[in-house]
């Protein structure tokens, strides 16, 4: 399983030097928007999370494969450890280059006609990167947002993007998936607790939200992160313990 593997590796994994990555990409990039993004830089690894500006991001996509599928909507909401700021919240619907499959329509409720009138991803890219600039991105399940954004850029401007993310699903897995069930537990009918967004939120007594609206999911992720921090970390926890 994807999260099992990463959770196990977490402690021994080499820390990426994000400042160096940003610096290197800044030198190589030919795109104005990316230049501005990397120029804003990234906080140093030992920064306490109480001093970090975060932004929770959620993409709704036509599927799970960044190579084949496209982004249909983007939601984001900025926050810090004290408060989530709806004021800076953003929500865009974009036109994917791939065809919208019927079943994904059912999931995120975005229809072909919504898409038809939506701008291409490139039209919102500048605003999106501005919203992420200088902030640490928080997502639930990092297999989606970063890869999709990376591929979308590669396809359009022949240049990808890389930045650290905090994955609330992985933070949840650290607690609930850190060791597999014993045979005895399995025999007794135990199963691993779900670390899906809805179930994770429930563990912290956060209210139920309807899923699959990118903005709502971004807000839900931000709230989950605040709850995780107040239960399991402190305001002095350095960001390097959380990001990947």
Partner 1 sequence: MQIEPVEVLDFLRRYPPFSCLPEEVLGQVVSEIEVGYFKADTQILELGQQVNALHVIRSGAVDIHRRNGELYNKLTEGGFFGEFGLLRDGKIRFPAKAIEDTLLYFVPSALFHRLFDEYEEFADAVEIEDRTRLRQAVARKEDANELMTSKVTSLISRELVSICTDATVHDAATCMTEASISSLLIVYPPEHPKKDYIAGIITDRDLRTRVVAEQLPYSTPVTDIMTEELITIESNQFVFEAMLAMLRHNLHHLPVIHKEKPIGVIAISDIIRYESQNSLFVVSNIFRQTTVDDLAALVTDVRASFVRMVNEDANSRMIGSAMAVIGRSFKQRLLELGEEQLGPPPVPYCFLALGSMARDEMLIVTDQDNAMILDDAFDPKLHDDYFKALAQFVSDGLDACGYTYCTGKIMATNPQWRQPRKVWQGYFDQWIDNPSPEGLLHSSIFFDLEGVWGQTEWAEQLNKHIVKKARQSKRFLACMSRNALNRTPPLGFFKDFVMEQDGRQNNTINMKRRGTAPLADLVRVHSLAIGSTERNSFLRLNDIIEADILPRGRGQDLRDALELISMVRIRHQALSLEKNETPDNSIAPEDLSEFERKNLKDAFQILSNAQKFMKFRYQGAR
Per CB under 8 A, residues contacting partner 1 are: 77, 79, 82-87, 89-93, 204-207, 209-210, 213, 215-216, 219, 222-223, 226-227, 230-231
Shortest separation between residue 45's beta carbon and partner 1, angstroms? 25
Strands of 90-93's sheet, edge to edge?
90-93, 71-79, 54-61, 136-139, 165-167
Helix (H, G, I), strand (E, B) or coil at 89: coil
Shortest separation between residue 20's beta carbon and partner 1, angstroms? 34
Shortest separation between residue 142's beta carbon and partner 1, angstroms? 22
Shortest separation between residue 158's beta carbon and partner 1, angstroms? 30
Residue with tokens 């313990």: 241
Q: Could you tell me whether strands 136-139 and 90-93 are parallel, antiparallel, or unpaired per DSSP bridges?
A: unpaired
Shortest separation between residue 73's beta carbon and partner 1, angstroms? 10
User: By C-beta, is 23 or 216 nearer to partner 1?
Assistant: 216
Cα–Cα distance, 66 to 208 (Å, whole number):
29
Cα–Cα distance, 45 to 23 (Å, whole number):
15
H or E element that contains 166: strand 165-167
Task: Give me the phi and psi of 149, to 5 degrees please.
Answer: -65, -40
Helix (H, G, I), strand (E, B) or coil at 148: helix
Q: Which of 244, 35, 45 is nearest to 139 (CA)?
A: 244
Q: Which of 240, 132, 172 is nearest to 3 (CA)?
A: 172
Shortest separation between residue 138's beta carbon and partner 1, angstroms? 14
User: By C-beta, is 191 or 205 nearer to partner 1?
Assistant: 205
Cα–Cα distance, 236 to 244 (Å, whole number):
18
User: By C-beta, is 25 or 108 nearer to partner 1?
Assistant: 108
User: By C-beta, is 175 or 227 nearer to partner 1?
Assistant: 227
Structure tokens at 21: 């990555």
User: By C-beta, is 35 or 91 nearer to partner 1?
Assistant: 91
User: By C-beta, is 117 or 158 nearer to partner 1?
Assistant: 117
User: By C-beta, is 6 or 213 nearer to partner 1?
Assistant: 213
Q: Which of 163, 90, 82 is nearest to 127 (CA)?
A: 90
């Amino acid at each position: 399983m994807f999260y099992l593997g990463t959770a196990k590796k977490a402690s021994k994994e080499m820390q990426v030097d994000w400042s160096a990555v940003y610096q290197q990409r800044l030198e190589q990039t030919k795109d104005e928007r990316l230049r501005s993004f990397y120029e804003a830089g990234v906080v140093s690894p030992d920064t306490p999370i109480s001093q970090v500006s975060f932004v929770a991001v959620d993409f709704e996509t036509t599927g799970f494969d960044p190579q084949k599928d496209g982004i249909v909507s983007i939601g984001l909401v900025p926050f810090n450890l004290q408060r989530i700021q709806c004021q800076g919240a953003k929500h865009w619907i974009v036109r994917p280059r791939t065809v919208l499959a019927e079943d994904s329509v059912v999931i995120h409720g975005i229809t072909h006609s919504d898409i038809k009138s939506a701008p291409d991803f490139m039209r919102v890219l500048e605003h999106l990167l501005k919203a992420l600039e200088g902030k640490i991105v928080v997502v639930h399940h990092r297999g989606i947002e970063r890869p999709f954004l990376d591929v979308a850029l590669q396809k359009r401007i022949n240049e990808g993007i890389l930045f650290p993310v905090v994955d609330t699903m992985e933070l949840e897995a650290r607690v609930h998936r850190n060791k597999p069930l014993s045979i005895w537990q399995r025999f007794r009918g135990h199963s691993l607790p779900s670390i899906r967004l809805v179930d994770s939120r429930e563990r912290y007594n956060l209210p139920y939200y309807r899923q699959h609206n990118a903005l709502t999911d971004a807000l839900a992720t931000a709230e989950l992160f605040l709850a995780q921090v107040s239960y399991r970390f402190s305001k002095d926890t350095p960001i390097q313990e959380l990001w990947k």
